[in-house]
Structure formats: structure tokens, C-alpha cells
């Protein structure tokens, strides 16, 4: 009943949320990964759904329960994630929380054996899903939001990413511990800045669930404003 009472501000809106790490295979037993837990993206998917949105959650390998009424698409690699996102278009909004691996490797179908072979770990750059979706001529979602994982110069780097990736908002979060905040990677808390063409918002340290519900409200405001 409580959920029925929630105003359906995002009814008839479709969102894509990406979450988690990607895994880039090296050989049948090895892969490149990162510390992303998927928590922030899953919480955002849940919060958007609670405001009445249709949500497609494209996620890398994580240990998270699928939120109620959210459509989940599991992927492993960055290339698979990009295809899944493209197959999900059109959408009103796309929120890119995934920690997509920046590089993949040539896959060796036989296992590398020590002493006999050295792994070919020459990095091949992965497609930038956020940038590609932002720069689309057709089916560009009207709100495209990226996250920036930064170990230093958080704001400066976020502003550069906002420009280069062509998105509407960049949410900058620290990925190393400081006096103000723990690392966003893997933990339950997040201390974010939101950079947009309107300027910078500085949010307090919040749980990832709280970040998600406030962000969903901000997104609902955005769509209600462009409706008028």
C-alpha cells in the first residue's frame, strides 16, 4: 500500500541503468575485473521503478538481488554491455553507473601455462558506452547521466568528462578513502558532486540508497519541468 501512495512521477518513462563491473576474459580461467559491487546502480534502478518508471538494468557480474519489477539483463564484457544497452533503446533516460573495463585483451581459448607461455595482455580499448549513447543522432535519451570514478581532482576531471562524453550530468564520486568520505567502490556510502551545464551540486555523505532516492527525485523534477 505504501508503494501505491508513491506518486508515479515517472509513469510511462523508460530508463536504462548500467551497473557493476565488466569482466574481460583472458583465457578460459582468467579475467580482468574491478571492485564495483553494483550497489549504487541497483539502488538507482529500484528508486526509479518506485517512482513508476519502466527500468531496464543492464548489469555486469554482481551479487545483488534484482529489485522488484525491474527488468534485468546480465552481461559479462563491455562489448556485451554496449550491445545490450543499444538493444534497450529507445529510452527517456540512461544512467551509466557501471564501472566498464577500459580495456579488453585478445582471448586465448587455451589456458596459459606458466613456464610455457606468457599471457598476451596487450590492452585493447573498449568502446565508451556512455559517450557513444550521448553522441547518437537518433534515439539519444533526453537525459544521459554518467558517473565519474576519480582518485584525485574530482571536480576538474568530472567537468572534462561532462564535455567530452556529451552527457547532461556527471556524478563524480571518490574511489579512494579521504577524511570526508570512504571510497565509493564496493562500500555502502557515497559522497557525490553532480556536474551539469547549470553548475555543480555538492551532496553530503549519504548511503547509496539515499543517493538513489534523491537522484530519482531530481530526475523526476527534470522530466516534470520539460513536460511544462
Rule CB under 5 A: is residue 102 a binding residue for Ca ion? Answer: yes
Rule CB under 6 A: is residue 91 a binding residue for ligand CTP? Answer: no
Chain residue at closest Cβ approach to Ca ion: 102
First to last CA, the chain: 30
Catalytic residues: 34
209 is in an annotated binding site: no
Nearer to Ca ion, 102 or 210 (CB): 102
Which of positions 148-187 make contact with ligand CTP (CB under 6 A)? 148-149, 161
Contacts by residues 28-35 (CB-CB < 8 Å, ≥ 24 positions apart): 28/109, 28/110, 28/111, 29/111, 30/112, 30/119, 32/101, 32/103, 32/104, 32/105, 33/61, 33/101, 34/99, 34/101, 34/185, 35/99, 35/185, 35/186
Rule CB under 5 A: is residue 131 a binding residue for Ca ion? Answer: no
Total site size for ligand CTP, rule CB under 6 A: 16
Task: Please give the backbone phi and psi of residue 26, each rounded to the nearest 5 degrees, phi first.
Answer: -110, -50
127 is in an annotated binding site: yes
Sign of dihedral through CA atoms 26, 31, 36, 38? Answer: positive
CA distances from 217 to 6, 68, 98, 196 (A): 12, 19, 21, 16
| Residues 104-133 as x/- pattern, contact with ligand CTP by CB under 6 A | ----------------------xxxxx---
Partner from ligand CTP, Ca ion, none contacting 193, C-beta within 5 to 8 A by type: none
CA 104 to mean position of chain CA atoms: 18
**Least distance between ligand CTP and beta carbon 111 (Å):** 27
Nearer to Ca ion, 76 or 102 (CB): 102
Rule CB under 6 A: is residue 98 a binding residue for ligand CTP? Answer: yes
The three cell numbers locating residue 207:
548511503
Question: Annotated binding site, which residues?
Answer: 102, 111, 127-130, 147, 161, 165
- Residues in contact with ligand CTP by CB under 6 A are 18, 78, 96, 98, 100, 102, 126-130, 146-149, 161
Amino acid at each position: 500500500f505504501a508503494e501505491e501512495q508513491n506518486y508515479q512521477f515517472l509513469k510511462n518513462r523508460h530508463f536504462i541503468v548500467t551497473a557493476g563491473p565488466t569482466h574481460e576474459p583472458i583465457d578460459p580461467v582468467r579475467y580482468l575485473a574491478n571492485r564495483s559491487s553494483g550497489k549504487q546502480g541497483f539502488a538507482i534502478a529500484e528508486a526509479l521503478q518506485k517512482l513508476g518508471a519502466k527500468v531496464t538494468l543492464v548489469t555486469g557480474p554482481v551479487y545483488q538481488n534484482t529489485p522488484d519489477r525491474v527488468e534485468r539483463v546480465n552481461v559479462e564484457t563491455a562489448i556485451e554491455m554496449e550491445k545490450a544497452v543499444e538493444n534497450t533503446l529507445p529510452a527517456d533516460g540512461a544512467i551509466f553507473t557501471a564501472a566498464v573495463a577500459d580495456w579488453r585483451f585478445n582471448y586465448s581459448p587455451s589456458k596459459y601455462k606458466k613456464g610455457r607461455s606468457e599471457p598476451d595482455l596487450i590492452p585493447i580499448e573498449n568502446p565508451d558506452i556512455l559517450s557513444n549513447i550521448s553522441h547518437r543522432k537518433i534515439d539519444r535519451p533526453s537525459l544521459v547521466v554518467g558517473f565519474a570514478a576519480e582518485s584525485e581532482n574530482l571536480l576538474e576531471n568530472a567537468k572534462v568528462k561532462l564535455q567530452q562524453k556529451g552527457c547532461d550530468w556527471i556524478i563524480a564520486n571518490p574511489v579512494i578513502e579521504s577524511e570526508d568520505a570512504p571510497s565509493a567502490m564496493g562500500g555502502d556510502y557515497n559522497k557525490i558532486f553532480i556536474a551539469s551545464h547549470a553548475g555543480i551540486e555538492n551532496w553530503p555523505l549519504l548511503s547509496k540508497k539515499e543517493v538513489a532516492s534523491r537522484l530519482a527525485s531530481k530526475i523526476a523534477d527534470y522530466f516534470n519541468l520539460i513536460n511544462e
